[in-house]
Amino acid sequence: MRAPRGTRLSGNRMPAESRSFQLTSLIAVLPGDGIGPEVTRAGLAVLRAAAARHSLDLRIEEAPFGGAALEALGAPLPPSTRDLCMDADAVLLGAAGLPGPPPANPALRPEQGLLDLRALLGVYANLRPIRPLPGAGEASPLREENLASVDLIVVRELTGGIYFGDKQEGEDAAADLCAYNREEIERVVRFAAKLARQRRSRLCSVDKANVLATSRLWRTATSRLVADEFPDLELQHLLVDAAAMRLLTHAADFDVLVTENMFGDILTDEASVLAGSLGMAPSASIGDGGRGLYEPIHGTAPDIAGQGVANPCGMILSVAMMLDLSLKAPQAAREVEAAVAAAVADGARTADIAGQGPAASTGQFTEAVLERLEKSKDGSA
């Protein structure tokens, strides 16, 4: 069994990847800000139901994070939250951010806590799958033929690039350094290539090699690695502006896309249109161990916070990714995905994807998923 919280073994915490023999999995839950607590409650309800069905022994502990932690403890990622996340087998995150202009001091920005958490956990590969669900695509502004057969995943490098580079900020001038080394590029491309090999063996690398030095290194490093280690893959290079266009016109042509930090952030928000709404898209951030960080890709949406209308689909599907990747329960993950798809297909849709039909509340959508998860016991979901 897991050592109690606070216990140290040989003076150090045991890395999550070394605890596969333990029966209890610790899940660190960071509800965060805005709609974060609402969608987190929905995700936890589904996680508990799936765990009960598959006899998964979970210990769930919540901790303050983001703006909530800033207001309560003076830091977006306080020491107690850091310790919990380092002890955990997986981290579930709602959202982080406060309305209004960001403070001048980066240490007082909720988003800085997110960057620090990613670096702390060493989760360099951010996986963002895009698969339109029957019914949800009706909310997309794209034509139906542009959504047919779309099943892609973006692998975004998460701990390097312009978000983590040196910064200079003043009243009249500012600078953000975008820097990558070959090792950082190769490890995320290798991750994406292994994923492509498990899917349809097509890998698209996105860069801006006609302008940026970092992108030229990205392209040469990617070409060399794929030729040396994954010669069976079909590799394509696309400039980011061309990729942005093709995501909306020929998305079904893509299998796995791999790109740097900022490009991945922007492209996946764009690609959420394919799924019908930003609220539909999940994500998983993975490093070299089994521990992962799981969160929907949407933000805090302060304009609808507390109204019970937020779409929990992205969070629930992030829970499915956690079940698959960190908790090693792929059957439970597939059941959650099927329950979400069945709920949407049967008309349980929050306001962002409801179109002209009736809109479900956050709680009503969650209950619809739980009902279909329960029905999957007899294969009827």
Structure tokens at 358: 């009736």
Q: Please give the Cα distance from 381 to 370 (Å, whole number).
A: 11
Catalytic residue among 194, 269, 328, 375: 269
- Asked if 163 is an active-site residue, the reply is yes
Residue with tokens 């492509």: 196
- Asked if 269 is an active-site residue, the reply is yes
- Asked if 288 is an active-site residue, the reply is no
- Asked if 180 is an active-site residue, the reply is no
Q: Please give the Cα distance from 75 to 108 (Å, whole number).
A: 7
Catalytic residue among 33, 89, 255, 265: 265
Catalytic residue among 124, 163, 180, 294: 163
CA nearest 97: which of 115, 78, 118? 115
Residue with tokens 């403070």: 103
Q: Please give the Cα distance from 143 to 346 (Å, whole number).
A: 21
Cα atoms in the 13 Å half-sphere on the side-chain side of 371? 11
Catalytic residue among 57, 167, 232, 241: 241
Cα atoms in the 13 Å half-sphere on the side-chain side of 69? 27
Catalytic residue among 33, 180, 207, 208: 208
Neighbours of 75 (CB within 10 A): 18
- Asked if 241 is an active-site residue, the reply is yes
Residues in the chain: 381
Spell out where the chain has E strands. Answer: 24-32, 57-62, 90-95, 125-130, 152-157, 167-169, 174-176, 202-207, 234-239, 256-259, 284-286, 292-294
Structure tokens at 228: 């040396």
Q: Are the CB atoms for 179 and 161 separated by under 8 Å?
A: yes
Structure tokens at 170: 């003043």
The strand pairing partners of 167, in sequence order, are: 176
Residues with a catalytic annotation lie at: 163, 208, 241, 265, 269
